[in-house]
Structure 1
Amino acid sequence: MAVPNKGRLHDRTVDLLLKSGLDLGEDWGRKLYVTAKNQDIEIVFVRAQDIPEFINSGAVDLGITGQDQIANSGCKLEEVLELGFGHCRLSVAVPEQSSIKSIDDIKDGCRIATSFPKITKRFFDAKGKKVNIIEVSGAAEIMPYMGVADIIVDLVSSGSTLKMNRLVEIESLVQSQAVVVTSKKALSKSKSGIMDMVNSIKSVIEAESKKYLMADVPTSKLKEISKLFPGLAGPTVMNISGRDDMVAIHVVIEKSDVYDAVNTLQRMGAKGILTLPIDRLVQ
């Protein structure tokens, strides 16, 4: 499995792997590859832009990278899980004072600075524009100011970096987020292992928005509580030894509902209310 060795996707990717139960050892941060303890899984740390090609060539079975990198590579891969982070878009941006207000205004010979040359070329070829693409490894925003390029194609998240560099976004090429990606060949060979990894990561993401709530509630309020807290398949109800007037309930609730849930239970006479984090949740 290939994961980004640095950049905007690195920290969250490693966090998901660790929370999914993979033990990468104490010094994984200083290695280019590690084997997860007690698992037949090897993790390689490489550049996010190289991961699609590694998967396409069969060097690795799966990886985590951005949809922007997959689109730029041109490789036909299988996205098996959207991860909900690293949201951005690849966009065309021009200087604020430029006469270019849309793609139609771009003249042949226009110089475009970008770290995404392949998808940029495909985009402008499809528009019938003969542009000069200048590949840069970063800091594309400063290229118009330096006189190196007329416009740029770069990743945009909040747009604050464009604004600081007096650039205006005029069109988006692709929307992007982090995904787990593999290939048809890898799936045909190692589908079980790949899906085990995918489902492990998915269970971590599912759990992060939930809380496990436990409380002792009046038996007379049980029907009302069951309606208020349906959980995944209704609350789990257990008898309390020596108490006919109270039962214990366990239920999974949304993290955003904890404040109201605890206050509601208190008003209904509940005691011993506890909320706990959930490491993984398989639905």
Structure 2
Amino acid sequence: MLTIALPKGALLKESIAYFQQVGLNFDALLEPDNRQLQVVSRDGVARALLVRAQDVPVYVQYGQAQLGIVGYDVLREKTPHVAQLADLGFGRCRLSVAVKATSPYRSARDLPPHCRVASKFVRCANAFFQELDVPVDIVPLYGSVELGPLTGMAEAIVDLVSTGRTLKENGLVELEQIFTSTAYLIAHPRSYRLNIAGLGHYVKCLEGYRNRMEGRASA
């Protein structure tokens, strides 16, 4: 049976809609009273695992799932050994550097040497500031990162931004965008190569659907 890792949170609804286009229906995961972490598609040919977004590539890398959908931000941070098959285009957001609106800094290069930057994207943040040749101390935070500058723990944060509303409501402003993130279709490399559980058929159908959607968007 084909197993697919789906991310909890913002990408879940569109991920389920995406697989529905190729006949795999996992909408039971969207039911308000659902507490199941795995469901079988209505036709019984595939199974979906509901996991934290950061864990999607882990399940795929170790072969417990042959396919998965996850944000590019997670792939950049985790650098898993998975096959990145397609940029699906939805779930668009950006990883950005932000500071207090009252801060004197106007770019990431203005930050003082060895200042503290709060982020759950430790690898991405380190790589960005190393490329700028700006030495900073990354403070790992995994919830309410915006509190870092507000409490004086950090001068800046590196976090995902969608509309910018959360930053604005907490008195923060973006300095720079590091990269844009969208949802990606990923696969277990060996399963993809050997076409286990008919994986190739579904990937071909999913890519065809994506191409049709891109064609409509550009028309």
Q: TM-score with structure 2 length normalisation?
A: 0.82
Aligned counterparts of 1:134 and 1:12: Cα–Cα separation in 2: 32
1:246 aligns with none
CA contact (8 A) 1:73 1:119 kept: no
Q: Structure 1 residue 209: deviation in Å?
A: 8.6
User: Is structure 2 residue 150 aligned with structure 1 residue 145?
Assistant: yes
Aligned counterparts of 1:161 and 1:73: Cα–Cα separation in 2: 25
User: Is structure 2 residue 18 aligned with structure 1 residue 22?
Assistant: no
Aligned counterparts of 1:70 and 1:150: Cα–Cα separation in 2: 26
Could you tell me which of 88, 91, 99 is aligned with 2:93?
88
Name the stretch that deviates more: 147-156 or 130-139. 130-139
User: Is structure 2 residue 86 aligned with structure 1 residue 73?
Assistant: no
Q: Structure 1 residue 50: deviation in Å?
A: 1.3
Q: Structure 1 residue 160: deviation in Å?
A: 2.6
2:23 maps to a residue whose letter is G
Name the stretch that deviates more: 46-55 or 15-24. 15-24
1:10 maps to a residue whose letter is L
Number of residue equivalences: 213
Aligned counterparts of 2:131 and 2:59: Cα–Cα separation in 1: 27
Provide, for residues 163-201 of structure 1, a one-character-per-residue CA deviation record: whole Å limited to 9, x for no partner.
Answer: 222222222222111111124333223368333223333
User: Is structure 2 residue 10 aligned with structure 1 residue 8?
Assistant: yes
2:166 aligns with 161
Aligned counterparts of 1:26 and 1:91: Cα–Cα separation in 2: 34
1:107 aligns with 112
Q: Structure 1 residue 86: deviation in Å?
A: 0.5
Aligned counterparts of 2:155 and 2:143: Cα–Cα separation in 1: 16
Could you tell me which of 49, 58, 75 is aligned with 1:53?
58
Name the stretch that deviates more: 42-51 or 117-126. 117-126
Q: Structure 1 residue 140: deviation in Å?
A: 1.6
2:62 maps to a residue whose letter is S
Q: Where in structure 2 are the equivalents of 1:182-201 lying within 5 Å?
A: 182-190=187-195, 193-201=198-206
Distance 1:164 1:16, change over 3 A: same
Higher relative contact order by CA 8 Å / sep ≥ 6: 1 or 2?
2
Aligned counterparts of 1:209 and 1:112: Cα–Cα separation in 2: 37
Aligned counterparts of 2:213 and 2:99: Cα–Cα separation in 1: 39
Say which SS state the counterpart of residue 30 (structure 1) adopts: coil
CA RMSD in angstroms comes to: 2.8
Q: Please, which runs of 5 or more residues in structure 1 have no aligned partner?
A: 211-253, 258-283
Aligned counterparts of 1:58 and 1:94: Cα–Cα separation in 2: 40
Distance 1:208 1:30, change over 3 A: farther
Structure 1 runs of 4+ aligned residues shifted over 4 Å read: 25-28, 202-210, 254-257
Name the stretch that deviates more: 26-35 or 179-188. 26-35
Distance 1:191 1:119, change over 3 A: farther
Aligned counterparts of 1:162 and 1:50: Cα–Cα separation in 2: 26
Find the structure with the greater CA-based Rg.
1
Q: Structure 1 residue 73: deviation in Å?
A: 0.5
CA contact (8 A) 1:25 1:37 kept: no
2:36 aligns with 31
Q: Please, which runs of 5 or more residues in structure 2 have no aligned partner?
A: none
